[in-house]
Structure 1
Amino acid sequence: MITLRHFRRGRLSTAFAASLVLAAVGCGEIDVANPNNPSVDGLVQSPNATSASALATGLLRGTRANVAEGIRWLGAFGREGYPMSVTGASLPGSVRDPLNGNGFPGNVLYADPYRNIRSANLLLAAISDVGAWSDAQKEAARGFAKTIQAYDFLQVIVTRDVFGAPLDVGIDPTAPPAPIATKAQVYERIATLLDEARGHLQAGGTAFPFPLTSGFSGFNTPATFLRVNRALRARAAVYTDNWQVALTALSESFISTTAPLTLGAYHVFSTNSGDITNPNFRPDLLFAHPRLRTEAKLRADGSLDLRAQTKLVTVPTFTVQGISSNVQFTMYNSATASIPLIRNEELLLLRAEANLGLGNTALAIQDINLVRTTAGGLPPLPSNFSGDLLTELLYDKRYSLVWEGGHTWIDMRHYGRLAQIPVRAADPRLFPAMPIPVAECQPRTPQPTGCGIVDGITPPPQP
């Protein structure tokens, strides 16, 4: 049993892992039950189907823990929208002032995924001892847990990017801190987890031994959940320019030219006791960047791109610290609105991106046109389009995936176009990545790149 005297501040394998263990295991030098998470106590002390199932289902709650914060802050970085509290306290750290390792959003977007990765490690370690589960059910559980871990690692690395991130969250808390792996190594681990999970899910029989949320309707068996796994594999492959890997993964996903663009897996929320409501149902706080209307393309009848029409609504102008907006989002229009984890519309655009990367222009145009005509109501690009197809693709990704996960910021950084995101005098700063939290930096000598202040870049303001 890990004891409280082993928990020291300042490392993933101590400070963060300690909080994970305290939250997950709930015991210290005296062995007391954890009233907030009895399923984990039971799993650690005596693995059984009840505790293992509870923890597995809890992983889906863990994946959504930082989703809303990610949308807000990465969305602000990409100038999709702003968190505009009346006091203005949320604005400086997202668009004006340098980022530091003590910042709330950066720490949350770091600690929450690692907490969930740690929980998945506990589940993986216990699965073999769950006697009530069949071999196939154990394989299904392993595939599920590794897929979730890969998703959480992906959430970490898109925020830290070139700074990298630790990979080993299971070492002894008294050991030296886990090394900061490079960006390439983190993506390699993500790929390995997803591919290992693929094999587990293929051997996972016909059903999981635990329920999935309603957000996975249609993807709640090992065989159908595998399609979500492959969709995530494609996303990670595109982020690393592994175009052929992305196309192969997409062919095994749920991508479809005939299914609704909304088909996919979702984070779900409710007003039920013990659950949480959608944190982005905040018309008092969250505003869209006005450019989403002014930069929207026009349809044949002169009206705006349907995505700008259906996802945005005009409201009275609100101004905080020199930043004004009269536009808000409509996608999360209730406390129980779902947030996409990944859906068909993104997959079609990822396939276009991969084909464009391989020089398959005609195939890329086909998928771009399917999305832009269906979702945007825009005229299709001609088959002999000779302009900047990447710019067209990034436009469609921005409007199709706006306020779903910081996609604009991630994509513009990916293609070296960060400085093309428009800034104004009141929001002049663009960030390439979030810093590594101070608690991760303090015990390391020398401190890794990414510790301290991230200044970002300040392109010339636009009118």
Structure 2
Amino acid sequence: MKNIKFIKIVGLAFVLILSACSLDEVADPNQPNISSVTDNPTEQTLNFLTQGLESKARSGLGGFITATGSIARELYSFNASDPTTTATLIGKDGVTLTGSEPQLTGTLFARYQAVKSADFILDGLEGSPVSDTKKNGYRGVALTYRALMLLDVLNLLGDNGVRIDISDPNNLGPFVSKSDGFTALRSMLDDGFTALQNAEFSFEFSTGFDGFDTPETFAQFNRAVAARVAIHQEDYAAALTLLDDSFLSLDGNDLGIGPKRVYAQGGTELLNPIFKTPQQSGDQFVVHNRFINDIQAGDTRINKFRLRDDPVARDGLNGTHEIDLYESATSPIDHIRNEELILIYAEANIQEGNLMDAESALNIIRNAYGLGDYAGAVDETGLTDEMLYNRSYSLWAEGHAMFDLRRYGRLNATFLPIDRAGDIVHTQFPIPPFEVQ
């Protein structure tokens, strides 16, 4: 089994940049600085950096899921060491977000570390002696990951926008609008896809990319990510076109296909941050009761939720079930999988007026989880409700619900339960106060 060769890509991470920290002048691929990477890097150095980028892109997921899942009322994080999870994130007593929440800052730190790692690769290509096709391989991977990481940042900050350019720590690029941010991400992905059309990979991925470890198959991953971006842009026609070049399969047996983040025990490896030991109470993801109450009879996605031996309560919140998504602390987590692509296909077809195609796609998902064909109204309203139902259960606790609800005007107290008197529903995070705008 190929394991990720964990490379410490320190670089100019988000918080380090904003703190005006500088890099030590060392030439070590495990602790790269700008000059050591961009000054004619060898193929070996670029390989190390690319493998390090894949590894770095696993970080920060725990905070991201805690933040988005709590706000969307998917789950509660009952963590005895962090009271923000049942107070600030849930809007207790009307408290507003400040941008200093550890779930936000930790996620942004990790995402911008990965972005900077991608920048190291891109900056080093001009002077590298490797062939043009190999350069295209590095470029395609780096641009794809760069866009994937920044998508999380943009979604968390919402209308506050996103900083795309962090190349110069002394002259950071501006925050761009939400719309311009999505446009920039699509452009990155398109440039990456173009590079992958005439590319060669001289590096190895982890086993998480088995089946997506050639330029041709990695390009399918790139198009899948671009389709995800397109639905956030409400560019549904483009989403359908992008899916044509992705790994979309309208086969209910292929729902789990897709590249994954892999985790392992030992050394500097990372463990799956979403896995929790069954039945523990000090640190547990507790399922919001609405997911237990609202699931349709016979829907086997109920198996994502484990009934606790004893119900748990904290800070005026309670639940009877806990997370049961992953078997162990080394279980992989999807970057994106075919199940999501089918749901993107359904959503885009609804918005484009292709209602029969949308219904057929939704039935693929329903049938895979023990449900009969959709029997509701075959119109935009009915199919949109059905699509959102399936996204909520298929992609539960994967960082989508907050943004899905927001996209459809449902991230509010009209559509979500208020669990304690005085709680409010947040819609986005502010820019962190230590950020230089």
Same fold flag (TM > 0.5): yes
Match of 2:153 in 1: 156
Match of 1:183 in 2: 178
1:347 to 332, 341, 349: 341
1:75 to 49, 69, 86: 69
Match of 1:195 in 2: 190
For the 8 Å contact 1:269–1:277, the answer to whether it is kept is: yes
1:123 to 121, 124, 128: 121
2:386 to 383, 392, 396: 392
Aligned-partner Cα distance in 2 for 1:82–1:246: 32
Q: Is the aligned partner of 1:137 residue 2:130?
A: no
Q: Is the aligned partner of 1:213 residue 2:211?
A: no
Range 418-427 or range 68-77, more displaced: 418-427
What is the CA distance between 1:141 and its match in structure 2? 0.8
Match of 2:37 in 1: 43
Please state whether the residue corresponding to 2:67 is helix, strand or coil: helix
Please state whether the residue corresponding to 2:334 is helix, strand or coil: strand
For the 8 Å contact 2:70–2:77, the answer to whether it is kept is: yes
2:170 to 139, 149, 174: 174
Aligned-partner Cα distance in 2 for 1:426–1:268: 41
**Cα separation, partners in 2 of 1:102 and 1:135, compared to 1, 3 Å:** same
Q: Is the aligned partner of 1:229 residue 2:227?
A: no
1:416 to 409, 418, 422: 409
Aligned-partner Cα distance in 2 for 1:13–1:344: 32
Aligned-partner Cα distance in 2 for 1:13–1:114: 5
Match of 1:245 in 2: 238
Quick one: which amino acid aligns to residue 242 of structure 2? A
For the 8 Å contact 1:322–1:426, the answer to whether it is kept is: no
Q: Which runs of 5+ in 1 are unaligned?
A: 1-11, 300-304, 445-463
**Cα separation, partners in 2 of 1:34 and 1:318, compared to 1, 3 Å:** farther
Match of 2:355 in 1: 361
**Cα separation, partners in 2 of 1:291 and 1:50, compared to 1, 3 Å:** same
Aligned-partner Cα distance in 2 for 1:218–1:19: 40
Q: Is the aligned partner of 1:292 residue 2:288?
A: no
Aligned-partner Cα distance in 2 for 1:439–1:392: 41
Quick one: which amino acid aligns to residue 436 of structure 1? I
Match of 1:453 in 2: none
Aligned-partner Cα distance in 1 for 2:104–2:255: 31
Quick one: which amino acid aligns to residue 201 of structure 1? L
Range 80-89 or range 320-329, more displaced: 80-89
Aligned-partner Cα distance in 1 for 2:328–2:13: 38
Quick one: which amino acid aligns to residue 430 of structure 2? P
What is the CA distance between 1:214 and its match in structure 2? 1.1
What is the CA distance between 1:230 and its match in structure 2? 0.4
**Cα separation, partners in 2 of 1:21 and 1:57, compared to 1, 3 Å:** farther
**Cα separation, partners in 2 of 1:40 and 1:212, compared to 1, 3 Å:** farther
For the 8 Å contact 1:150–1:193, the answer to whether it is kept is: yes
Provide TM-score, normalisation by structure 1. 0.84
Aligned-partner Cα distance in 2 for 1:57–1:40: 18
What is the CA distance between 1:358 and its match in structure 2? 0.7
Aligned-partner Cα distance in 2 for 1:152–1:330: 26
Match of 1:429 in 2: 424
Match of 1:62 in 2: 56
Match of 2:102 in 1: 104
Match of 1:439 in 2: 434
What is the CA distance between 1:325 and its match in structure 2? 1.1
Please state whether the residue corresponding to 1:292 is helix, strand or coil: helix
Aligned-partner Cα distance in 1 for 2:117–2:313: 42
**Cα separation, partners in 2 of 1:13 and 1:42, compared to 1, 3 Å:** closer
Quick one: which amino acid aligns to residue 148 of structure 2? Y
What is the CA distance between 1:257 and its match in structure 2? 1.7
Match of 2:280 in 1: none
Please state whether the residue corresponding to 1:353 is helix, strand or coil: helix
Range 113-122 or range 224-233, more displaced: 113-122
Q: How do 1:249-398 and structure 2 match up within 5 A?
A: 249-258=242-251, 259-283=253-277, 284-299=283-298, 305-308=299-302, 310-315=303-308, 316-374=310-368, 376-382=369-375, 385=378, 388-398=382-392
Aligned-partner Cα distance in 2 for 1:14–1:142: 22
Aligned-partner Cα distance in 1 for 2:417–2:179: 29
Please state whether the residue corresponding to 1:388 is helix, strand or coil: helix
CA deviations over 1:224-253 (Å, ceiling 9, x no partner): 000000000100001111011000000110
Please state whether the residue corresponding to 2:76 is helix, strand or coil: strand
Range 424-433 or range 40-49, more displaced: 40-49
2:112 to 106, 114, 120: 114
Match of 2:3 in 1: none
Aligned-partner Cα distance in 2 for 1:397–1:236: 16
Between the two proteins, the alignment pairs up a number of residues equal to: 412
**Cα separation, partners in 2 of 1:121 and 1:35, compared to 1, 3 Å:** closer
For the 8 Å contact 2:210–2:259, the answer to whether it is kept is: yes
Please give the root-mean-square deviation of Cα atoms over the aligned residues, in Å.
Answer: 2.2
For the 8 Å contact 2:47–2:203, the answer to whether it is kept is: yes
Provide TM-score, normalisation by structure 2. 0.89
**Cα separation, partners in 2 of 1:231 and 1:118, compared to 1, 3 Å:** same
Q: What percent identity do the matched residue pairs reach?
A: 30
Aligned-partner Cα distance in 2 for 1:195–1:116: 19
What is the CA distance between 1:130 and its match in structure 2? 2.7
